[in-house]
Amino acid sequence: MLEPRFVGIDVSKAVLDVASLPDGEVKQFTNDECGIEQLVSWVQEYVPELIVLEATGGLETAVSVALFEAGFALSITNPRKVRDFARATGHLAKTDKLDAVVLADFALKIRPEPTTLPDAHSRHLSALMSRRRQIVSMITAEKNRLGSAHPEVAPRLGIHIAWLEEELKAITKELHNGIRSDPISEAKGKLLGSVPGVGPVLTATLLVELPELGEVNHKQIAALVGVAPLNRDSGQHRGKRFCWGGRARVRTTLYMAALSASRTNPTIRPFYQRLIDAGKPPKVALTACMRKLLIILNAMMRDMAPWQPASDMLPA
């Protein structure tokens, strides 16, 4: 019986460095359509049990989609986990080829859960969401420059800001139209949007960036977003609990929604006030509101149930 193979792929803008274990073979392909086709053909000869890549901000998308559509099990892994694994196993040197070997070794020894890639429609919405976030960042940067700009330059900044704001409106409209074009997403969006404090931006962010909403329990969804407090205890020492990790982009949008909900939502507002009255710092209380709001939304998506102001939407 052939020994199972595991493949690691180090992705860069120009090339794909690929390593296979346990045989240790290392190959390199260009990160373009032709190179990805050659990579898929090469991998098909090995029939690996698992392929591991790092999340690289989008550079891995094309090769991931090609491998997924070819029927391979692949895991897109947080680079921090791979770096910690490399240090723990004594892989201190770093080159692209060595990184591919480390990824293959990570696949062999850790066996991370395979990643389920979103469909083409979801990837399109994700690209729109990313572009919207970039435009918002550019508008903020240009407005900051406008405050100290030379009088002869300021009008040009104003023109650019106006153009960016129009582009923001257009891409936001396209994003919402894309959500409404899918009956399931539209139904989920209406449920989410019915909750006081949850606006269209958070609704779109949850639908696009957090597809697990309603599919996992309340502890898992809180951990995914990074609003689950983690213990820091050792021996007799009992440290403060901190929220750490998770999906920062979802968490940032959820923070603004929780801030609004702490003033307008009939469930979140008294919850926030009870925490403040108990002496909790405002930031701690608001983080708890983020978690509670997320758990309510998760329960609503789980049951496809409408918002119930008098209910805390018991978690699963």
Residue range 146-182, pLDDT digits in tens: 989 999 999 999 999 999 999 999 999 999 999 999 9
Three-class SS of residue 52?
A: strand
**By the 8 A CB rule, do 145 and 157 touch?**
yes
Name the residue among 109, 66, 73 with its Cα closest to residue 91. Answer: 109
**By the 8 A CB rule, do 257 and 199 touch?**
yes
Query: DSSP label at 228?
Result: S
pTM, 2 dp: 0.80
Residue 127, CA distances (Å) to 58, 209, 284 in order: 10, 11, 33
Q: For the chain, how long is the longest CA-to-CA vector?
A: 76
Q: Which amino acid, one-letter code, is at 44?
A: Q
Which residue pairs from 146-153 have beta carbons closer than 8 angstroms and sit at least 24 positions apart in sequence?
none
pLDDT (tens digit per residue) in 96-109: 999 999 999 999 99
Q: How far from the centroid of its chain's Cα atoms is residue 84's Cα?
A: 20
Q: Distance between CA 125 and CA 175 in Å, rounded? A: 6
Per-residue confidence in pLDDT tens, the chain, 316 aa: 467 899 999 999 999 999 999 989 999 999 999 999 999 999 998 889 999 999 888 899 999 999 999 999 999 999 999 999 999 999 888 899 999 999 999 999 999 999 888 888 888 999 999 999 999 999 999 999 998 999 999 999 999 999 999 999 999 999 999 999 999 999 999 999 999 999 999 999 999 999 999 999 999 999 999 998 766 656 665 656 666 678 889 999 999 999 999 999 999 999 999 999 999 999 999 999 999 999 999 999 999 998 987 544 444 4
